[in-house]
Chains A and B, each alone.
Chain A
Amino acid sequence: QVQVVQSGAEMKKPGASVKVSCKASGYTFANNHIHWVRQAPGQGLEWMGTINPRGGSTNYARNFQGRISMTGDTSSSTIYMELSSLRTEDTAMYYCARLHGSSGGGNLDSWGQGTLVTVSS
């Protein structure tokens, strides 16, 4: 069955960078875009961006442009999301999720377990 497994919790200082991994299995990795969504404590879901594993093209949310990068490794079916210049407001649970359907109309049908990123001095 489809599984999406993320790397473990991270604690970072303001100004640092964090890189979170997302390993997919149970389907053909290149066939589905991967999206990243974050959720600050007690808040709603915030879309961060997406990557097409086939070719590596990306589309980032305006709020994160300039300090976010998503990359993929097809040999290990793993996607990486790196967020730089961290601020305390970046403290959140970060999720990766598989897109079911096409960009522009699909939905996120398989979610990782989440990676808690804590930014504190």
Chain B
Amino acid sequence: SYDLTQPPSVSVSPGQTASISCSGDNLGHKYVGWYQQRPGQSPVLVIFQDTLRPSGVPDRFSGSNSGHTATLTISETQVTDEADYYCQAWDSSTVIFGGGTKLTVL
């Protein structure tokens, strides 16, 4: 089976840049999406097709994907960005989620 690996936690200071990685075999050959999930809320798509932002998502959120690693980058991080972040890709006809990364802003 295909696995996506994320760090369990990332910490960042307000105003700094946060980077969350997602690794998988030849992940660069697949499209990756990223979801933000605040406590008690449903996930929200923040990046799709590796680099694209849905309308309404601040341009502080950006994505990249190459080789075996996709990265979600949040610039000028705000306290409101504190949440769990999940990467997602496809393996054949199956949706795969990474294990999630808890972003702490302090």
A contact residues vs B (CB 8 Å cutoff): 35, 37, 44-47, 50, 59, 61, 95, 97, 100-101, 103-109, 111-114
Contact = CB atoms under 8 A, between A and B. Distances in A.
Contacts, number: 63
B80 interface: no
A105 B49 contact: yes
Interface in B38-84: 42-45, 48-49, 54
A47 B31 contact: no
Interface of B: 30-31, 33, 35, 42-45, 48-49, 54, 86, 88, 90, 92-100
A107 B86 contact: no
22 contacts: A44-B86, A44-B98, A44-B99, A45-B35, A45-B86, A45-B97, A47-B94, A47-B95, A59-B94, A61-B94, A100-B48, A101-B48, A103-B93, A104-B90, A105-B30, A105-B31, A105-B90, A107-B33, A107-B45, A108-B43, A108-B45, A108-B88
A102 to B, nearest CB: 10
A105 B91 CA distance: 9
A93 to B, nearest CB: 9
A97 B43 CA distance: 10
A47 B89 CA distance: 11
A100 to B, nearest CB: 6
Given A105-B31, A107-B33, A107-B88, A44 B45 contact: no
Contacts of A97: 43
Nearest to A111: B42
Contacts of B86: 44-45
